[in-house]
Amino acid sequence: MNQCNNGWIEEAIGSNRTLPAVFDYDPKADPVKAIIATLKALPLDKEERAENTKMVKYAIAKLGLERFRYSCYTNQIDEPKFNIVEPPHHYFTSREWLYDLIWFEDDEELGKEYSIKSLPLALESEWDFFRENPKIGGVPYAAVRYDFQKLVVCNAGLKVMILQESCKYGLEEMDKYIVPLLAKYKPKVNGQFLCIVYSPDMKSFKYKLFCPQEEK
């Protein structure tokens, strides 16, 4: 772990690590720490961006289902190589529902189907930097900003943004964007925002937890 400027923390990715066959059940675990530890054990290939996206979603879906026993929606991970164990009374569905990935709970007293009780996590993953919109020109991390707005309006307990660091724009651009956005949004923003930024060579990632309610 390396403490960077402005509160960002850098973690190296272990090239010889693998995910556990099944995560131990521990509902009291800190989800932020659990996500960081999981991604540190997930080697990625800088030449395989599409595959990297799948692997990150798979790891966090697997963590939510097995360690915390939440149900989960996410897309792109219905291939046989993705081994996910569905705990009793919870389920995994390989498609999106509002966000790229969610952990959620149903209220069984109201019936298992269409009775969402809580949304502990919502995640967006965006590895592009630009959007094809001539009106906005060269806005730093434009594609990421577009998706991050979805998290701002979400009432999940933890909102996670996954992206790759731009060689042109530093992480200070993310700070300059996120902090005032969360401060000015009405009504008040709830929950925490975990921003995870992979390095261009995919050998490490930096992360920062934004807690807008505590900063006011």
Residue 135, amino acid: K
- Average pLDDT on 39-67 reads 92
Residue 122, amino acid: A
Higher pLDDT, 5 or 161: 161
Q: Exposed, middle or buried, 177 (CB in 10 Å: 0-12/13-18/19+)?
A: middle
Domain ranges for the chain: 2-215
> Which pair of structure tokens corresponds to residue 120?
């502990």
CB atoms under 10 Å from CB of 61, counted, come to 24
Distance between CA atoms of residues 216 and 214, nearest Å:
6
CB atoms under 10 Å from CB of 161, counted, come to 25
C-alpha of 143 from chain center: 15
- The pLDDT of residue 5: 65
How many residues are listed for the chain in this entry? 216
- The pLDDT of residue 170: 83
φ, ψ for residue 114, nearest 5 deg: 60, 45
Residue 92, amino acid: F
Pairing state of beta strands 192-198 and 204-210?
antiparallel
- Average pLDDT on 47-70 reads 92
- The pLDDT of residue 176: 93
- The pLDDT of residue 136: 61
* Average pLDDT of the chain to the nearest whole number: 88
Which residues pair with residue 139 across a beta bridge?
none
Instruction: Report the predicted TM-score, pTM, of the whole model to 2 decimal places.
Output: 0.92
Distance between CA atoms of residues 124 and 102, nearest Å:
9
Sign of CA dihedral 144, 59, 93, 46: positive
Q: Exposed, middle or buried, 29 (CB in 10 Å: 0-12/13-18/19+)?
A: middle
Instruction: Look at residues 1, 2, 38, 6 and name the one whose alpha carbon lies nearest to residue 208.
Output: 6
Pairing state of beta strands 101-106 and 116-125?
antiparallel
Distance between CA atoms of residues 85 and 66, nearest Å:
7
Distance between CA atoms of residues 123 and 193, nearest Å:
10
- The pLDDT of residue 215: 60
